[in-house]
Structures are given as C-alpha cells and as structure tokens.
Structure 1
Amino acid sequence: MSTSKIVMIGAVALFGVIGVLGFFKKNQNKQEVVLDTNKSKVQEITIEVPKGPKVEIKKKPVEKKIAKKVVKEIKKTDEKVAIKEDDNLPDANIIDRLFVTDSSRLPIVETVTYSSRVPWLQGRHAWVADYASHFSTTRHFIARSLNKKHDYFTQKINPGDRFNVLRDDKNIKFHLVIDINRSKLWFYYLDVDTNERVLLKTYKVGLGRKESKRESGGLTPVGKYSLGSKVAIYKPNVLGYFQDNKIELIKVFGTRWIPFNEELNNCSDSAKGLGLHGAPWVESNGELVEDRSKVGKYDSDGCIRLFSEDMEEMFSIIISRPTEIELVKDFKEAKLPGVEKIIK
C-alpha cells in the first residue's frame, strides 16, 4: 500500500470520528435544553404557590375587602333582628267582641234580653240605667252593644232587645300599659279568679313634652297609678275653668276625661292633675273640630291624649271597674299582672 493511500484512509477515518463525536455532542446539548424548560415550568408552578411574595401582595387587599363586607352584613342582620324584636311586641284588636251578642263574644261578658220587669228591682220598671247599675257596666257600654255601632248615647230600647254587660260573677280588673318611647298604649283585662290577662287592643297616644331633667324624660311620669272615679264628658259649649280661665273644656280635654287617682309603685311624679283624655278641639272655619295632630306627639302638660273614638271606647269600658295604669320607658319593663292568655 502506497503512502498516499494510507494518508487518505487516515483522513477519512479521522473525519468519521469527528462526525460521530459531533453527533453525540449535538444530542447532549438538545437534552439539556429540554430539562431546563421542564425546570422552568416547575419554577413557574412554584411561583404560584401562596408562599410566593407576589401572590401574597395580591391576596392581602382581597382578604381585607372580604372581611369588611362580612362585618357590614353582620351589622345589617343585627338591625333587622332589632326591628323584628320591636315588631314582636304584643298586638291585638278584639275589643269589638265585648259588644257583639253572638258566640264570638269574650268570656267576661254575657248577653241579656231586655225586660222592664226584673227580679232584682221591685216596684217600678227597669231601664238601661238600672241594668248598668246592677251589672256594674256603664250605660255607654250597653248603648254601643245595643246600637251595634260606636253610639254611646242612644238608649232607645224595647222588650226583647239584646245587649251585653260585664259578667257579675267575674272578678274583672283592667290594666293599661303606656310605652313612653313608643307613644303606645296596651289595654288588658285581668280575670282575677283565673289570674289570666287578655290584650284587648293597642292605641296610639300623645304624651307630655320632653324634659331631659325628669326621670321619665318628659312631663309624663313613669310608675304605676290607679285611675279615679271623677270622670267627665265634654261637649261643645260646656264651659269650665282651666288654669284660671273660663273656656270650653272640650278645647283642652276633648270629649272625655279620666283622672289619675293615687300613686301605687315607683312613681316619678304625683297623680294630681294627671289623666287620660281626648285630643283637644280647635276652631276651624267657624266650627269646633278635633286636632288629631296632637296624638302621637310629645306636646301635653303630662296627660295622655287619645283620638276621640279611642278615648270614648276605653271610657265606656273601664270606668265601671278597678283600673291601673303603668307607664314605662319601654314595654319590656312593664310588670304585667297574671299570665298571658291569647284569644283567637
């Protein structure tokens, strides 16, 4: 073999070795790039973990915003609960059932049939006033039941007419509660024998002017009082003295007046001069009309004002039986007698 052939074979072999080495080196570099990419993806996943500082910065304001929203919702819930609790105070309007003569009448009344001759009165005919006296029920009560409407004066009666009276075999008292802050009155009857109380109706009332230095916060006191028997009915042109002035008393007391009698318990003021009465009447276009704007306001000298129809209704019922009135700043403070009975 000549020298030139040997050189040529050696060169070819050398180039072959170099080519093989280059191929392996190229494949090795390509594999390292792939691994780097995988590592990069792992690193990207790692960055998204909450421990990463970038994500923590984003989450902090989100957490604060959520917390703030939760607090706001809790406050709204509390407000709704408070309103609901206020709405859950007792309420009723079954007072008409004192006067109806059907089976829906309340258990403290009975229906009688009028006759001019009765065993409990000798020597003369019995009239409405006699029935009222015998059953300790006012003529106004009998008139409303007899007339089947809010007519407390008409007492025309014929044999066989039927009307209600308070039962004489029941020991009945009445209890009034006034919530000063709500300007509201609750009217209960109490069956002393069974120790059960029943809510008849609630009323809107007007009260005394605000006075921060007083225990009650106004001219209307707090405490428990009995009601007196020196009641009055006022009509237009009926004159009397009020604060040394001779005036039509309907302009001050409305159509009815029931005085406080004596202090019973935890009274912040004397009973003298206080009472329940109607809204005052004022002159309008040459005639007297009820000033209904006075009910629901703190505008009196301390007395309790009611709309005329409400005052006349209560008047017809309570003046013939013992009645107490309890004035509190909040109904929940009232010391109600007996056990509550719900009549449906």
Structure 2
Amino acid sequence: MANFSRYLSLQIILIFLAFACCNHHAAGYGGLRVGFYEQTCPHLEHIVKEISDQVMAVAPSLAGPLLRMHFHDCFVRGCEGSVLLDSPTKQAEKDAIPNLSLRGFQIIDKVKTAVEEACPGVVSCADILATVARDVTAAMKGPYWEVETGRRDGRVSNMTEALFNLLPPFANITTLKQGFLDRGLSVKDLVVLSGGHTIGISHCSSFTDRLYNFTGKGDADPSLDPNYAEKLRMKCPEASPTDNLVEMDPGSVRTFDTSYFTLIAKRRGLFTSDAALLDDEETKAYLVQQALTHGSTFFKDFGESMVNMGKDRSPPGDQGEIRKVCTAVTVIINASKGPNLLSPLGEFGPD
C-alpha cells in the first residue's frame, strides 16, 4: 500500500509538471494573456502610456494612423509586426499602396527604444504596436481596454500580401463580411471596428469615385447624401492636381466618439465600405442603435472587438522572434551559416 501511495504521488507530480510545462510553452509561443510581461517587463504599460500621451499632446493627428497601423498589421499574416519592417528594395508591407498613408512609425520606434532600455530583448514590436493603439485611442477620449500580450514578431513582410489582404475603402458588404470571417471576426466586430473611423483623415483619392464616376459613367453614388456629396466635391475638385485631405468624421476628427454612426445613418459615410454597413440587417441595426442611444455600448464593444482582432495568429516560437528594432529582422535562421546570423534586413517575399 505504501509503495502504491508513493507511486500515485509520483504520478500526480509528473502530471502537474507536464501541465506547468505545457502552459509555459503556450504562453511563450502564441498564448496571449493580460499581464504577459508582469515579471519580465513590469513597467511596460507605464512606458508606452507616457510616450503615447506625450505624442498625443503635440501631434493628436497621429492617433488615427497609429490605430489603423495595428489594423493593417493584424489583417496581413496576423498581429506580428510585419507592417513595421523596412525593405531596401521597397517591397515590404509598408510599401504597398494601402499602407502609403500610414504615419507614426517613428513613434513605435521611440517606444521600442525606451522599452529596450528597460527590458532588453523581452517585448515584441507587435505587442508594442497593439498597446500604443489602445493608448492613443484612450488619449483621444476613447475607450480603454486590457491589451492581451505575448505575441512574437514575424520575419516576413510582403508588399503583394498587403495589397491583396487589406480590405479596400471601396469594398461592398459581402467582401467586408468575408474578410472579417476569414480572420475569425464576427459581423458585429466588423461594424464595431468600423467605428474607428471616428478619428483620422483620408486622401480624396480614396473616395472620389463616389463623387464623379461611381459606375464608370461620370455619375455619383446614389447612396451618398447629396448635400454631403456637394461639400466633398468642394474639398476634392475633380480636376485638382493635388490629393487633398478630408476628415473622416467631420467636426470631431480628434475625439474618439460615436458621431460616426450618426453620420452613417444619415448616409454621410466617407467610404463605400462605410455606406455598405447599411446593406446588412445586423450591421445596420447596430449602427442605428448606437446613433439613437448616443453610443450606449460602443466603447465597451470596441474594446472587446479590438481584443478579438488582436488574437489573430502570431508566429510560433521557432519561427517568430523578439526584434531588437522594429524595422529590421534580428535573427535569420540559415542552415548553412548557423542559427544566429544577424542581419540588418528582413526577409521579403513568400515563405
């Protein structure tokens, strides 16, 4: 009996050790959780918030681009920082047409430098980008949510992948729903995250087809409020040689609020993809509810949907890394030269 008891105790210990080992492995290799860096970089959140608040105090116009940068990262290869990589031949994600309007990369670099000083080689650029997106949103009087961390940085950044995976401003509701479904996101996530257009600006070229040549016959988009369309034509003349800028949420472009939904309900969405939210019963019901209740659940929903989006796949531990700088791959596995070949460049092109 004594031998059996010792045997049973040993089995319980082995099971516990196996469970602990597996949990540690999951946390390090793609298992996201709040407080992932509590022990290894306890001041991370403070560092990111301090720099984000400083930037927003002097350059609030960067809030929209920094929030959108996280979106664009997650929609190509998952949330693994590939949008941050530079390419010597201009073939990385940031060089794709949909990403040419992104701004604020230097802010991510600034945060990374500060974090590296405090916790060298610990925090991924992907996690920094996700946390900055939250903090600039909160700084614009928007919602605050707990950011799950534990991502690893990817080593591949491909311009073509960005071109084909980022949802364009002219997407219809079918394309939008399928694009979100492909990334494990719901129809509710689609309409909620579209509310991020409450901050930021756009180039006229992203929507002028709705004003002058919607069907290729020199016509305007009939779904666009005529008065709003006329105001847009004044800001975006058809023959203008320059690509002017227009607020996505006129009047509150630097405040994260719920007026976006009121505008869409009045057929004043800037992009075709905004107007498309009226073409689905579920998305229309949500935006009408938020418009009528002054966004009664929007802030809570936005935080939840951002967490949902942030769960998109991260490279497993044997493929991802923790970059030293966010613009360049740190370690490239090369069988002929050994496993730790340092390189100032990333890997660009397909896997």
TM over 0.5: no
Higher strand share: 1
TM-score w.r.t. length of structure 2: 0.27
Greater relative contact order structure (CA < 8 Å, 6+ sep): 2
- Structure (1/2) with the larger helix percentage: 2
Max Rg structure: 1
